Amino acid sequence: MRKKRLLSLALVAALSVTMLAGCGSSGSKEKSEEKGKTTITLGIWPGDDLAENIPMFEGYQKTMKETHPDIVVEPAPYTYATDTFVSMAQSGNCPTIFESWFTEPQKLIKQGLIADVTDELQKRGWLDKMSEDVKKILSDKDGKVYGVPRDAYALGLMCNVDLFKKAGLVDEKGVPKFPKTMDELAQTAKTIKDKTGAAGLCLLAKDNSGGWHFSNIAWNFGANLVTDNGDGTYTANLNSKEAVDAMKWVYDLKWKYDVLTADPTAEDWGTGFQQLGTGGAAMYIAANDAVAQPTQTNGLDVKKLALCAIPAGPGGQYSLTGGVPYMFSKDATPEEISAAFDFLETMGKTPEANETTIKGMQADAANRVSNGVPVIHTFPCWTNQEYIDADNKVVSEYSNVDEAMFQSFFDAVNTEGNPRAEEAGDTQEMYAQLTNVLQAVLTNKDANIQELMDTANSNYQTTLDSEFTKSE
């Protein structure tokens, strides 16, 4: 890619919005004292769905054994889930380090479920290298920091190039003719469905991911789904004219154009990538950090994946931004936190640009190439130029895709005003309410959209009123 500054100022600004929507290292302290070593458990270790990545992590583990013989690294795969995390954190059964989403830190900080890592960041000189806006997401009101950013993302429109080609929707270089407006997206989806028999678009309506995707659609219709009242409270706007218009557009995808998969209520985050990767659908809303899902996980050839910006609507063009932080057990000792930081450095996931981190970056890129995953730029949350330059160099060295398949996406999300952070409030509950509407709209041709959105708005406002009170 041409982009040298990977995290654009526009994206950084978008991420500055406060996002509201631990684990214990049980037994590790005892084992460390017994062996005279520090043991850390890795929730970030690949699970069965990404077993091909385990050799890479075993390589990191081997490096740690050589460079930090006093640290024992134990796999403990963990996937963050809002419905299980609290009990796991309170019981002390989660790993030393794990991944979450940018919607979660503020909530977890207030509940005392994750560790303050400010001292370790200061000791290593990393605090000043972290984006100030991302730092806000990970900090409490006193400026204490409770995590380390992995990277940020922006939603776009993933495309199966073969289906675009079969439908005659590629240019002379074989690059898809990406839809630029919401109307064009519907028409493109219909052309693909008519000419190939595959769904033009996979739309999610099974879990919170459906509401997550819909919020981006709604923005492009001019909706603002939540108002921050500035006094610690929030007002729901799920039933605004703009949000209702966006839901009517979704309704038309099903009942006017008939371009969706057979049952959107059965489609979740994982099945969406399966539909795209196996040729069941031509387009799918997803982020730049998830390119391994249609390729490595679901078999799509690395050359057959493209990514463009989510098309503009009557309200503008926005790309929902978020990210993934590394967070640490509330019960982790300072020694365990320091050891986990050492492992992140070995992975190349820290702002250092030394021999260790660069080898970690190279190992990740080489693993992507060997597993047929596009090597493209991410949106890292470290701002020091040495790190950015090192990352750019590794991506250039290991690039395995036609940049034209991704360039329009990066052009859009690096445009001021395009990136937009997730709505404030209890974001996950908002997504749940919107998904309920999606399920009704996509299964009932006679659905009353306004009434459904009114109900969702009322339900969400009740949640907001119960969770947030005016500041004293």
In a domain, 285, yes or no: yes
Let me know if residue 3 belongs to a domain: no
Region 269-289: mean pLDDT is 97
Spatial CA neighbour of 7 closest among 414, 395, 351: 414
Dump pLDDT digits (tens) for 282-314.
Answer: 999 999 999 999 999 999 999 999 999 999 999
CA distance 164 to 431: 30
DSSP 8-state secondary structure symbol assigned to residue 53? G
Distances (CA, A) of 273 to 265, 269, 434: 15, 7, 21
The neighbour count for residue 114, using CB atoms within 10 Å, is: 26
Taking all residues of the chain, what is their mean pLDDT, rounded to a whole number?
Answer: 92
Q: Are residues 163 and 143 in the same domain?
A: no
Q: In terms of domains, do 83 and 196 share one?
A: no
| CA-to-CA separations, 356 to 55, 180, 275, 376, 417, in angstroms, rounded | 18, 42, 38, 21, 37
3-class secondary structure, 195: helix
pLDDT at 233 over 80: yes
Residue 378 confidence (pLDDT): 83
pLDDT given for residue 385 in this prediction:
94
Same domain, 267 and 170: yes
CB atoms near residue 17 (< 10 Å) = 18
Inform me whether the pLDDT recorded for 34 exceeds 80: no
What pTM, to 2 d.p., does this model score?
A: 0.86
Q: Enumerate residues 6+ apart whose C-beta is below 8 A from 100.
A: 80, 108, 147, 324, 325, 327
Per-residue model confidence as pLDDT tens digits over 92-111: 888 999 999 998 998 899 99
Whether pLDDT at 19 is above 50: no
Task: Please tell me whether residues 247 and 207 are part of one structural domain.
Answer: yes
Indicate whether 50 and 182 sit together in one domain: no
1 is a domain residue: no
- Identify the pLDDT of residue 23: 35
| b/e code 367-383 from CB counts within 10 Å (16+ = b) | bbeebbbbbbbbbbbbb
User: How many domains, the chain?
Assistant: 2
Does 357 fall in a domain? yes
Query: Are 435 and 340 found together in one domain?
Result: no
472: confidence class by pLDDT, cuts 50, 70, 90: low
Does 292 share its domain with 229?
Answer: yes
Q: Is residue 115 situated within a structural domain? A: yes
Say if residue 277 is in the same domain as residue 141. no
One domain for residues 361 and 249? no
CATH code of the domain containing 166: 3.40.190.10
**Are 160 and 289 contained in the same domain?**
yes
What count of residues does the chain have?
Answer: 472
Radius of gyration in angstroms for the set of CA atoms belonging to the chain, rounded to a whole number: 22
Rounded to an integer, the average pLDDT of 198-221 is: 97
Question: Within this chain, do residues 66 and 196 fall inside the same structural domain, yes or no?
Answer: no
- Identity (one letter) of the amino acid at 290? A
The answer to whether position 4 is within a domain reads: no
159 within domain boundaries? yes
Query: Among the listed ranges 11-25, 93-107, 284-298, 344-358, which one has the minimum average pLDDT value?
Result: 11-25
**Which one of 372, 391, 413 terminates a domain?**
413
Residue 321's H or E segment, with its range, is: strand 319-328
One domain for residues 116 and 209? no
How much is the pLDDT for 24? 35
Structural domain harbouring 348: 9-152+321-413
Tens-digit pLDDT profile for residues 133-183: 899 999 999 999 999 999 999 999 999 999 999 999 999 999 999 999 999
Token readout for 190 is: 């219909």
